[in-house]
Amino acid sequence: MDDGGQAEYRAGFVALVGLPNVGKSTLANALTGQPLSIVTARPQTTRQRVTAIYSTDTHQAVFVDTPGLLEPRYLLQQSMQSEARTGAVDADVLVYVVDVGYERSLEHAAEYSPPPGPRTLLCLNKADRVDADTLAAVAGRFEASGDWEAVVSTTATSGKGREELLDAILERLPESPPLYPPEDLATAPVRFFVAERIREVCFEELDEELPYSLAIGIEEYREGSEPLYIAATIYVERKSQKGMVIGKGGRTVRQIGVRSRQSIEAFVESRVYLDLRVKVLANWRKNPGKLKLLGYPVPHG
């Protein structure tokens, strides 16, 4: 049928996969222009698929930022790997993200077998970590393998290579009407992103392994109030961890509360009253019922 010369609309799901800490979340934020995925210097920050929507007059890319690929040691990590696998299998375009300055990341990319179905791209991220000759040699090696439809170099923190990668993604989307209203920026509710912002601050304020042992629950979200009232709980696994999060005289949890409120206010563009508490939920990372209570998918089998 004659379309009057108009190009067909293209839309689909784009999965960003790779090892932990290769820059997937930073890249997702750069590609969509929206700071939806939380970003810290620590690996394994992303626990669930974060879906961000990028829409133009001719394309809609639904980006899925997945947890880093790893060998799971407990149920929460099994849930994270299930999220990563599902994101890859359901994708129309799969972008495998490499930290080009990290040898294990390059090795994993060479070993990785994408699921059948998606169009596949390789993103050599953190390109500023190596010199131009090394980058060219690495790109040439992957291009020669024939495993990837295109190899694109990026530095997500500066935006370098963003447009080239975005163009490569958009042109490979299938012909389809928009999957979501063009004005939508994400598929998850605002509560999810509020909890993520509190968790991001916890990663930055707390030492060593403690942030991996905590989860955030949004108990109340009064949308009509001024300021916006949010009651949230930081759940930890042990009583000793509760004391560490609270800090001497409540100093640490107050600092987390102040920084979290500021981050949430910037996100929702409204004044916020944040009522933040700390509770023990023993062994929640290994308990299916508690994982489900906290909103994490429970893997089967």
| pLDDT score of 1 more than 70 | no
Residue 232: pLDDT above 80?
Answer: yes
Radius of gyration of the chain (CA): 20
pLDDT at 2: 43
pLDDT of residue 300: 66
What is the band of 87 on the pLDDT scale with cuts at 50, 70, 90? Answer: low
Q: Average pLDDT, stretch 173-189? A: 91
pLDDT at residue 80, as a whole number: 66
The interaxial angle of helices 251-268 and 190-205, nearest 10 deg, is: 140
| 176, pLDDT greater than 90 | yes
Q: Is the pLDDT of residue 224 over 90?
A: no
Q: Which two tokens stand for residue 174?
A: 């299938």
Q: In what order do the strands lie in the sheet with 215-222?
A: 215-222, 228-236, 272-280
Say how far apart CA 264 and CA 255 lie, in whole Å.
Answer: 14
Question: Which stretches of the chain are assigned E, i.e. beta strand?
Answer: 10-17, 50-55, 59-65, 93-99, 119-125, 150-153, 215-222, 228-236, 272-280
Q: What is the mean pLDDT of residues 158-180?
A: 95
Angle separating helix axes 24-32 and 162-170, nearest 10 degrees: 80
Between CA 99 and CA 106, with CA 104 as vertex, the angle to 5 degrees is: 55
Q: Which residue has the tokens 């040699």?
A: 137
Mean pLDDT of 66-71: 69
75 pLDDT above the threshold of 80:
no
User: Is the CB of residue 75 less than 8 Å from the CB of residue 291?
Assistant: yes
Architecture of domain 10-170: 3-Layer(aba) Sandwich (3.40)
Task: Give the pLDDT confidence score for residue 5 in this predicted structure.
Answer: 45
Q: What is the pLDDT of residue 275?
A: 97
Please report the pLDDT score of residue 212 as a whole number: 85
Amino acid at 255: Q
CATH architecture label of 190-293: 2-Layer Sandwich (3.30)
State the pLDDT at residue 20.
86
Q: In whole angstroms, what is the distance from residue 15 CA to residue 105 CA?
A: 17
CA distances from 33 to 36, 79, 118 (A): 9, 28, 24
Q: Band of the pLDDT at 107, cuts 50, 70, 90?
A: very high
Q: Are strands 59-65 and 10-17 parallel, antiparallel or unpaired?
A: parallel
Q: What pLDDT score does 217 carry?
A: 95
Residue 32 and residue 79: Cα distance in Å, rounded?
Answer: 26
As a whole number, mean pLDDT of residues 263-280 equals 95
Query: What are the two backbone dihedrals, phi and then psi, of residue 89, each rounded to the nearest 5 degrees?
Result: -65, -35
Q: Domains of the chain: which residue ranges?
A: 10-170, 190-293
Neighbours of 57 (CB within 10 A): 7
Higher pLDDT, 34 or 41: 34
Total length of the chain = 301
Over range 5-30, report the average pLDDT: 87
- Identify the pLDDT of residue 214: 93
